[in-house]
Structure 1
Amino acid sequence: MKKSNYSKSVVISVSIHALFIMLLLWGADFSFDHKQSVGNTIQATMVDPAMLNQQAQQIRQQRQAAKDAEQARQDRLEQQTAVLEKQRKAEAERIRQLKEDKLTAEKATREAEKQRQLQQQQVAEAKAKADAQAKVEAKAKADAKAKAEAQAKVDAQVKADAKAKADAQAKVAAQAKVDAQAKAAAQAKVDAQAKAAAKAKVDAQAKAAAKAKADAQAKVDAQVKAAAKAKADAKAKADAKAKADAQAKQDAALNDMFSGLEAENVQRGGAKGKHIADEVTRYGTIYKQMIQQNLLVDQSLKGQQCKLTLRLSANGLVLNVSQLAGNDTLCRAAKSAVLQVSEFPMPDNPDVVKQLRVINLTVSP
């Protein structure tokens, strides 16, 4: 198609050039004078060079214009050809894509049909397999039912035989139970009579023993009451004496740092009271040393006093420390020392422990 357009362009160009040549020749003077020439006289027609040059220039310009026009036309033709070629390729690509899409769709349709047929075949095979399995299960179920019915008949017969045997054994057992109950009732009657006679004898003996015990208890109670009164009087006297001794001891030891450590209500009557007092004093000394190890006071507190009351548990734990009187700074230091000990040793003797449960402490640096 491009070669045909080029041939047309060449033909048009040649035609235009021929036309220009004809016009040039038509403008020239080709007239001849047919007068009879005389001798050697030569007649010539004058041609203007400027006009000829102008005409040649015009021809060249026209040829250039024609060439430019032809080139422009060829360029337009090439552009149109390129556009048409692009459109042709696009149309060809569209047709190819349509064909490809059609082939893909047909392939997908064939594949779907193939899958549908395969599924139908699988469904048919599964149904056939299920039907066969159902037949097998139905046969097995029928066989199991027949077997169960046969077994039920056997079980019923066995159960009936067992029931008959159990009924016979129950009758024998019932008769034996009746006989045993009758025998037990007779024995119980004999035992009840013997028990009644023995109880009557025991009641008589218990009554006599109770009377003798009551008389003896009355005598003992009188003796205990008299002894308790005497012990109470002795304890009251011993308490009064112990309290007086403790007060005297505290007053005599005011210049010691822990001179006021003492136990309340110390019993001092007899050997037991002396032992308790000695133990209280011994443990009081131990307590002084333990507190003194933790007591930190400034020299500015020299001459000051603090009176505290310590309350201890039965195992020596500090339950409470309270200030009775004295310098507050010194009392805080003394309290801190007591709380740092936190637990004091206690003796095994409960009477001594009782005296150590409440302690008056006088601190005087």
Structure 2
Amino acid sequence: MSSKYSLPLVLSFTIHIVLAGILLLGDFSSPPKPTPTSVQMEPIQAVIVEKSKVEAQINKIKKQKADDAKKLKDLEQSIAAAKAKRLNEAKRVKELERQRKKKAREKKAADIASKKAKAKANAADKIRKQKEREKKQADEAAAADAKAKRIKEENDAKKAAKKAEDLRKKKAAELKRKEQEARERAAQQKLLEQQMAEDMANRQQARRQQMMTEIGRFTALITQTIKRNLITDRSTMEGKSCKLTISLAPSGFVTNVVTGQGNRIVCEAAKTAVYKAGTLPVSKDPEIFREMRTISLTVAPDKFN
């Protein structure tokens, strides 16, 4: 065993010494630091170039050291791998030898046991055949039970599927019925709303017609009141007219009169007639009065006669 490992050990030791020497020489070969000297007037460019050379040399030495260290590490790993391989090979050979001896012992024991086994083989064969017959019978019985169980499960599944389908159809029919009822209710509601809207429109139209009739009636009454209080002069008013805008209080009291387009004389006379009347006839219905609060009309004296 010592002869197997002496050569690798010597080789590893020699390599370590050589690499250590290289590293030492690399340390000592580093460029010496420049000693301070008397003041020299050298150009700045020269100093920068010299410094870059020194740094380049230092980087080169550092790289060399790193490369040497990597080579040493790789070599050590190779030696360790080779050593491990040799150890594994020795273990494998030893294990093969052990297995060979074991197999030899086992073969010898097997030969002895073989003779005994043959004696028991016939009896065991009979027992085996008996067990096979029993197993076959048991398997056939189990197969029959499994078949019956499978048939029952299939029938149960069919019944369950039919029941589920019937329930689904029932729910679908119920949903359809409810949807139809909802549509019918919606249609009835829509029809009712349409009828209510039509009734409302008819009532509003009738109310509007009633209001217009009332407004027309009270407008005629107001016109008659103005006529009664209007002082006319055929020579100056014939063929003339004036538009008035009258503002009224809920009691009919005149709050304001504005004359619009028309003859000045007619406008003044009409305005005077309105203020003379003081209160004009108005509807007691608040809704109708809102439409008459401000009323516009045209006064034409020659049409009053």
Structure having the higher Rg: 1
TM-score, structure 2 normalization? 0.32
